[in-house]
Amino acid sequence: MVPPMPSPLRRSLALLVLTVGTSATVRADIYRWVDQEGVIHFTSKKEDPAAKLFLRGNRSNRGRDFAPSAPSADPTRYTRYDVWIRQAASAYQLPEALLRAVIKVESNYEPKALSHAGARGLMQLMPDTAAAMQVRSIDDPRENIFGGARFLRILANAFAGDLRKTIAGYNAGEGAVRRYNGIPPYEETQAYVERVAMFYRRYRSMPDAAEASREP
């Protein structure tokens, strides 16, 4: 179970999201443990001696390393999932614009996007990541969105609400971000963070999601 985020972290993430600058494989370790009441918990930190490393991380699609099956010229896909994006953002206390930006960069809103590595759906979840995030059907757009949002929430908790580290963690993994105490010096990850941040700002400033989703 993702631990609830204290109010200071909510404020921290909100502030950092508002001030975000322009300035390979995900390696965020996920631990699984069962409490005395039999409740299964997933966390990015080994908080219990009985915790077992459940997952090394999500292997997200890289750039255009996916094969979309939906017509890429269809602009309605940019608003088709609005209700679920809002629900997931509210449930995991994340900015709606952040979820939209990650979806845009990961899959360009193609619900059937499939990477060569096996990442699937709008938020490009690998099957083991989806399972850890309690996603029952990885190809279901709503569950895919909620699974990706849950993973972002874990990363946001791990980095005390630091937006850019959270974004970098989704791409390069929590371990890499901690190792370099910031965005890793990987060309791909640095480009990914800037691209997500760019679309984040566009979604915040433009009420028309379809217009904001256009390539600059």
* Residues carrying an active site annotation: 106
Task: Show Cβ contacts of residue 151 under 8 Å, excluding neighbours closer than 6 positions.
Answer: 28, 58, 123, 125, 129, 133, 170
Q: What is the CA radius of gyration of the chain?
A: 16
Residue 101's H or E segment, with its range, is helix 96-107
d(CA 135, CA 77): 22
Helix, strand and coil in the chain, % to nearest 5: 45, 10, 45
**In this structure, is the dihedral angle defined by the CA atoms of residues 13, 18, 20 and 25, taken in order, positive or negative?**
positive
Q: Are strands 52-55 and 40-43 parallel, antiparallel or unpaired?
A: unpaired
CA distance 15 to 11: 6
Residue count of the chain: 216
CB atoms within 10 A of CB 196: 26
